[in-house]
Amino acid sequence: MEINQCVIIGSGPAGYTAAIYASRANLKPILIQGMQPGGQLTTTNDVENYPGYPNGITGPEMMQDLQKQAERFGTQVIFGTVTKVDLSKKKGGVHKIIIDNKDQIHTKTVIISTGASAKYLGLDSEKKYMGSGVSACAVCDGFFFKNQDVVVVGGGDSAAEEATYLANLCNKVYLLVRKDEMRASKIMQKRVFDTKNLEVLFNHETLEVMGDKTVKEIRVMDTKNKQEKIINATGFFLAIGHNPNTEIFKDQLTMDKTGYLITQPDRSLTNLPGVFASGDAQDSIYRQAITAAGSGCMAALDAEKYLAELH
C-alpha cells in the first residue's frame, strides 16, 4: 500500500490551514473532511473577527474559500469520516487511518484537527433558530446583539465569561443556571454578580426558544415553584460546555480528563512521533478560528520538520 507523507483529519480552519502549508511544502496532503465538512464555522452566520475580511464573511463561504485555497496547492480532499486509527509508536513508523470503516490510508504523519462540538440542550426549537439568534459562541456572535436583551445558559466558567462579555455589548443579559448555585470559580462569579445589567436566574430551565424568522422570546421554568415565564430576548447563547472530537484517539494519545489532546508546550507534537494536533481538539481555552488556523500552520511546519529529519 502506498505510504503518504501527510494525512490531515478534519476540515475546520485548523485542518485547511495545515493543508495549505503542507501542500505548499510539497507533502501532498490528504485531508479527510469528517462528519461536518467545514467544521463549527458552518453553523455561524457572519464572521467579522477573522483578520483580512474588512466587510466580514459568512462562515460557510470562508470554509469554501479555505478549501479552494488548500486544493489550489494540491491537497486531496476526501469526503468521509475517520472511524479508526492505528498510530505507530515508532519514529518513522507508518500510521494507519481507516475511513468510514472500510478504506485504509497509510501515512508517515498525521495532523489531527477534529475540533470540538459545543453542547446544546437538544430542544427542537433551539435547532430551528441556530444562526438566527441561537449561538454557542458569544465572542463570535455577540456583536450582532448590541444593545439588545439576550439569554445565556450555563453555570460554569464559560457561562460566566460569556455572560459578562455580552453584558458589555448588550442592554440586558439573563443568565439561566439550572441549579441553585454556579459551578464557575468564585472570582468569575463575583464578576457576574458585580455586573449591573446581568441578572442571574437560579433554578431556571429553558423550555422553548420562540420567535418568527429570528428569536424573540424564551420560555423558561423556575424549577423550584414550577412557574413558567417568558423572557423577551433576541439572542440565546449556550455555554454548557464543549466536547473535543477525540474519541477515536483514546488509548493511543495523551489527553486531559475532558478529552482535549495534550501537546508539548507551544508545539503541536503529541506523545506519538509523527502525530500532531491543532485547533480546538487541543485547545479548551481560546477556541477561535484564527487561533485554530495558527495552530494548523504550526502542525504542518512540525510535520514537515519531522519528515525532513527522517531522511
Is 232:149 a contact under the CB 8 Å cutoff?
yes
Question: Where do we find the cell 485548523?
Answer: 14
Annotated active-site residue 297? The verdict is no
Residue 216 as a binder of ligand NDP (CB under 6 A): the answer is no
The residue among 25 and 182 lying less far from ligand NDP, judged by its C-beta, is 182
- 93 CB-side CA count, 13 A: 11
Task: Choose among 159, 164, 125, 113: nearest CA to 300.
Answer: 113
Indicate which single residue of 128, 178, 191, 219 sits in contact with ligand NDP (rule: CB under 6 A).
178
Per DSSP bridges, beta strands 57-58 and 46-47 are antiparallel
Question: Which C-beta is closer to ligand NDP: that of 90 or that of 186?
Answer: 186
Based on the residue annotation, tell me whether 141 is a catalytic residue of this protein.
yes
Verify whether residue 6 is a known catalytic residue: no
The C-alpha atoms of residue 22 and residue 69 are separated, in whole angstroms, by 12
- Taking CA atoms, 53 is separated from 13, 19, 138, 211, 218, in Å, by 15, 21, 19, 31, 33
Q: Which long-range contacts (CB under 8 A, 24 or more apart) does 258-264 make?
A: 258/284, 260/116, 260/284, 261/112
Single out the residue of 60, 80, 156, 294 in contact with ligand NDP (rule: CB under 6 A).
Answer: 156
Mask of contacts with ligand NDP, 254-293, x by CB under 6 A? Answer: ------------------------------x---------
Q: Compute φ and ψ for 247, nearest 5 degrees.
A: -50, -40
Smallest distance from ligand NDP to CB 126, Å: 11
Integer Cα distance of 18 and 278 in angstroms? 9
Site for ligand NDP in 27-46 (CB under 6 A): none
Instruction: Tell me if 154 contacts ligand NDP by CB under 6 A.
Output: yes
244 part of the interface to ligand NDP, by CB under 6 A: no
How big is the chain, counted in residues? 311
Selected from 27, 112, 159, 170, the binder of ligand NDP by CB under 6 A is: 159
Nearest residue to ligand NDP by CB is: 156
Which lies closer to ligand NDP via its Cβ, residue 169 or residue 240? Answer: 240
Which residue, 226 or 311, has its beta carbon nearer to ligand NDP?
226
Q: How far is the CB of 122 from ligand NDP (least distance, A)?
A: 8
Q: Choose, from 86, 100, 124, 137, the residue flagged as catalytic.
A: 137
- Give the integer Cα–Cα distance in Å for 15 and 114: 8
Given the rule CB under 6 A, which residues bind ligand NDP?
A: 121, 153-159, 161, 178-179, 183, 240-241, 284
Write out the catalytic residue numbers.
137, 140-141
